[in-house]
């Protein structure tokens, strides 16, 4: 009979190994379909391009909604506010998808390079081992540049979202012309932050295209 505390410990250990077991089962299933970790990585990186593009477009749409609020000159103010709130929530969801995609890329890349390094050690020919290590090193270098670029763009999303979040919450409790006027001073600042974010996302997308080309060439 397992004592309660022991049972909890066993459950925690089992849970901690679930991720690893799932990964191995997933990789094995993909290999049966002829898809190696390299293929999986290429597919996830390609998908990240769409995630980043959608996040960029949604944040720009949210900025337009904010500009519509600050430029309000009559009509249904609550309707304009509701649009801003709705677009902001969509931006948060898009940013979350980008972060989740990055984590999934990092996971399969880590597993790929571990496997690659291990299998290099199994190559009998010294010349082929050296060639393989050189190829792996080049791929790791390109991958590192990609992740740095993606993480840089990701890091700039939160300040932009935080700025939008502040405006949405402020307007929620102060939906009047005076409150709108008080936001006009922040419009240019947010516009600049969004412009810098868009530039970083576009750079990250370029890195994405280059890395996918490297993996699939």
Asked if residue 10 is part of any domain, the answer here is no
Asked if residue 13 is part of any domain, the answer here is no
pLDDT (average), residues 5-26? 56
Enter the tokens of residue 10.
């066993």
Asked if residue 23 is part of any domain, the answer here is no
- Note the pTM of the prediction, 2 decimals: 0.83
pLDDT at 146: 96
Which residues, at least 6 apart from 55, have a Cβ–Cβ distance to it below 8 Å?
Answer: 91, 94, 95, 97, 98, 157, 201
Helical packing angle, 126-173 and 177-216, nearest 10° = 170
Asked if residue 45 is part of any domain, the answer here is yes
Please state, for a pLDDT cut of 70, what percent of the chain lies above it: 89
Asked if residue 126 is part of any domain, the answer here is yes
On the question of pLDDT at 6 being above 70, the answer is: no
On the question of pLDDT at 61 being above 50, the answer is: yes
Phi then psi for 159, rounded to 5 degrees?
-60, -40
Asked if residue 87 is part of any domain, the answer here is yes
pLDDT at 17: 53
Q: Poorest-confidence range of 50-54, 123-127, 166-170?
A: 166-170
pLDDT tens-digit readout, 99-147 = 999 999 999 999 999 999 999 999 999 999 999 999 999 999 999 999 9
* Number of domains present in the structure of the chain: 1
Residue span of the structural domain in which 190 resides = 36-216
Contact 66, 171 (CB under 8 A): no
Asked if residue 176 is part of any domain, the answer here is yes
- CA-to-CA dists, residue 184 to 101, 117, 180, 181, 189, angstroms: 35, 56, 7, 5, 10
Asked if residue 29 is part of any domain, the answer here is no
């Amino acid at each position: 009979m397992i004592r309660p505390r022991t049972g909890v410990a066993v459950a925690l250990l089992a849970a901690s190994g679930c991720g690893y077991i799932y990964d191995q089962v997933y990789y094995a299933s993909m290999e049966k379909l002829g898809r190696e970790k390299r293929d999986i990585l290429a597919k996830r990186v390609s998908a990240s391009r769409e995630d980043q593009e959608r996040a960029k477009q949604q944040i720009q749409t949210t900025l337009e909604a904010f500009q519509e609020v600050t430029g309000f000159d009559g009509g249904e103010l609550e309707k304009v506010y509701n649009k801003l709130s709705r677009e902001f929530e969509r931006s948060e969801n898009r940013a979350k998808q980008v972060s989740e995609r990055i984590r999934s890329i990092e996971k399969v890349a880590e597993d790929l390079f571990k496997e690659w390094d291990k299998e290099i050690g199994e190559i009998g020919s010294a010349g082929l081992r050296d060639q393989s290590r050189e190829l792996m090193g080049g791929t790791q270098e390109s991958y590192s540049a990609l992740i740095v670029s993606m993480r840089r763009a990701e890091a700039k999303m939160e300040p932009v979202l935080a700025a939008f979040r502040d405006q949405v919450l402020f307007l929620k409790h102060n939906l009047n012309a005076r409150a709108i006027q008080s936001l006009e001073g922040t419009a240019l600042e947010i516009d600049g932050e969004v412009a810098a974010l868009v530039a970083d996302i576009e750079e990250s997308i370029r890195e994405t295209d280059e890395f996918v080309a490297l993996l699939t060439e």
